[in-house]
Amino acid sequence: MKYLNWICFLTVFLILTGNTTALAKDDESLKRMNLYKKTEAVTEIPWEYIAAVDQYERQVYDDPSEGRVTAIQVDPLFWSGTPEKIQADIFPEGWGSDGDGDGKADIENDEDILWSIGNYLKSYGTKEEDIKIALWNYYKRDLTVQTIINTANVFKKFQTVSLTDRDFPVPKQANYSYRSTWGDARGFGGRRIHEGTDIFANYGVPVKSTTYGVIEMKGWNRFGGWRIGIRDIYNIYHYYAHLQNFSEDIKVGDVVKPGDVIGAVGASGYGPPGTSGKFPPHLHYGMYQDNGKNEWSFDPYPYLKRWEKMAE
């Protein structure tokens, strides 16, 4: 009996603590959303672009600094016109300005930062084409601009920044098998290591997007055959290779959600366009993280295991 009580206590404890964490996260994204919407109201820059800049910087700087809910770190040169950080109560000569009305332009204040970034973007105009140019002049990196614009399109479509659902890339009813093969040696194309997980399945088994994101790449690649690349809102590039074909209505720039069918399992690749059957049919699935400077691959196997468990 005592033992049973313990289990009850533990279960209640786990449910409570689990809920508190989830609530704290909801609370934070609600606060962020309010700030994005407020910035839109005063700058006319649609909230999803402000949110996408914040989301992008979240991958560059990890978590927001103490006492903040947004992750954007502004360059002092942009803020005050000098490379040194200046005091909040000195009026800056750059883009830094006072968003929350406390008479200070504080480079560590969420509202001041969003207001300043919003004003900067607005100086180029409020259309996507204008915002693209403003972002390019701010970040000077094509992939960064593209990622922010794509993330904004995802936020716009789903009207939220809390997009945590995931799916397993092949239907669980299908016959498939996979194991951890990270770092195995490859035969084709010289000395390479295996950067991904192979999910073996029959020709034609549907391949699904595992995540919310945007189709960034679609076409032939000598190693990957017919392949699709999807970048998610966490600046992770999901790579689906050796496909037999693509879903008819899928094109670069499309917003996708977990479970959307993007193609079918095949054995394409290892030669010029159309080469197929040089190995058993399988989906090669790879994940690449970008941090604004570099891109590196990491092992998708543990994630696949988790999504497989989560999928119905």
Binding site for Zn ion (CB under 5 A): 196, 198, 284
Q: How far is the CB of 305 from Zn ion (least distance, A)?
A: 17
Q: How far is the CB of 186 from Zn ion (least distance, A)?
A: 8
How does 206-237 read in b/e, with b if 16+ C-beta sit within 10 Å?
bbbbbbbbbbbebeebeebbbbbbbbbbbbbb
Residues 6+ apart with CB under 8 A from 108: 65, 67, 68
- Residue 11 or 180: the one with the smaller Cβ distance to Zn ion is 180
- Residue 227 or 284: the one with the smaller Cβ distance to Zn ion is 284
- Residue 92 or 300: the one with the smaller Cβ distance to Zn ion is 300
In degrees and rounded to multiples of 5, residue 197 shows phi and psi of -125, 135
Q: What is the CA radius of gyration of the chain?
A: 23
- Residue 196 or 266: the one with the smaller Cβ distance to Zn ion is 196
Residues 6+ apart with CB under 8 A from 7: none
Q: How far is the CB of 295 from Zn ion (least distance, A)?
A: 18
- Residue 32 or 284: the one with the smaller Cβ distance to Zn ion is 284
Q: How far is the CB of 198 from Zn ion (least distance, A)?
A: 4
Q: How far apart are CA 237 and CA 14, in angstroms?
A: 34
Q: How far is the CB of 279 from Zn ion (least distance, A)?
A: 9
HSE (side-chain half, CA atoms, 13 Å) at 135: 26
- Residue 196 or 229: the one with the smaller Cβ distance to Zn ion is 196
Q: How far is the CB of 253 from Zn ion (least distance, A)?
A: 26
* 126 C-beta neighbours (distance < 10 Å), count: 15
Ranked by CB distance to Zn ion, the top (closest) residue is 284
**Residue 277 burial by Cβ neighbours in a 10 Å radius (0-12, 13-18, 19+):** exposed
Residues 6+ apart with CB under 8 A from 229: 215, 216, 217, 218, 237, 238, 239, 240
